[in-house]
């Protein structure tokens, strides 16, 4: 079981586009770049609007309704961005100057855990491979798996819970049973098969 810091260095989903601008010919100034990206909820992969994005060089922006942001005139080199939003853990993500642009790892903003709730995390597989885009639910919470099959359900009520997963095409399913404890994480890895999922607990 891993601890849950309020500030975490995360692997955020930010889809990015980086563009290079070189000021003044022969001026010797530093290269300035535009960093555009998107902030998503780490659980259900929905856009996070109103998140504040700040580069360590001072550029700021706020995500729109699609979770998108744009930081203008970011100097080339090793940098970090900090992303914060109400109800989420603050995330700090390193970026670097690579191949003529700023490179940002894929990142997700993690919801803050509330008292009386925990989180369930794991990997969903099918026929030995990661099951991307599978839906996972437990305790009234829902998540989607990422490309590596990983998922996290946040703020699941404490107690015994059945975690159910269904493939993206709805053809296969699987389940696992876990005991969720207060503000802690429990692992539930699930293998999808053709058998129908069990009914949810009463």
- Render pLDDT for 31-68 as a digit per residue (tens, 0 to 9): 788 888 899 999 999 999 999 999 999 999 999 999 98
Q: Is the pLDDT of residue 25 over 50?
A: no
Distances from the Cα of 103 to the Cαs of 20, 86, 95, 97, 192, in angstroms? 12, 26, 6, 6, 34
CA distance 46 to 15: 13
pLDDT of residue 198: 57
CATH of segment(s) 117-192: 2.60.40.1120
Q: What is the mean pLDDT of residues 4-15?
A: 40
CA distance 97 to 78: 6
pLDDT digits (tens, 9 = 90+) for 155-197: 999 999 999 999 999 999 999 999 999 999 999 999 999 865 5
Helix H or strand E encompassing 69:
strand 68-75
Domain ranges of the chain: 7-104, 117-192
pTM of the model: 0.76
CATH of segment(s) 7-104: 2.60.40.1120
Higher-pLDDT residue of 13, 156: 156
pLDDT of residue 36: 80
Q: What is the DSSP letter of 41?
A: B
Q: How many CB atoms lie within 10 A of CB 39?
A: 28
Positive or negative CA dihedral for 149, 155, 161, 162? Answer: negative
Please give the sequence-ordered ranges of beta strands (E in DSSP) within 85-140, or none if there are none. Answer: 90-98, 101-104, 117-126, 129-130, 135-138
Q: What integer best gives the mean pLDDT of the chain?
A: 83
């Amino acid at each position: 079981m891993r601890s849950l810091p309020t500030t975490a260095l995360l692997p955020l989903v930010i889809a990015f586009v980086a563009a290079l601008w070189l000021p003044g010919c022969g001026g010797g100034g530093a290269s300035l770049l535009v960093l555009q990206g998107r902030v998503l909820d780490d659980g259900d992969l929905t856009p996070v609007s109103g998140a504040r994005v700040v580069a360590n060089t001072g550029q700021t922006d706020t995500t729109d309704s699609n979770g998108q942001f744009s930081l203008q005139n970011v100097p080339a080199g090793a940098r970090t961005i900090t992303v914060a939003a109400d109800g989420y853990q603050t995330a700090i993500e390193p970026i670097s100057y690579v191949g003529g642009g700023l490179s940002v790892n894929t990142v997700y903003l993690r919801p803050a855990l509330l008292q009386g709730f925990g989180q369930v995390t794991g990997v969903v597989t099918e026929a030995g491979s990661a099951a991307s885009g599978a839906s996972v639910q437990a305790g009234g919470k829902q998540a989607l798996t990422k490309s590596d099959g990983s998922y996290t359900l946040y703020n699941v009520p404490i107690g015994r819970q059945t975690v159910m997963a269904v493939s993206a095409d709805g053809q296969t399913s699987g389940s696992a049973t876990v005991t969720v404890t207060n503000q802690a994480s429990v692992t539930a890895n699930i293998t999808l098969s053709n058998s129908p999922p069990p009914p949810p607990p009463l």
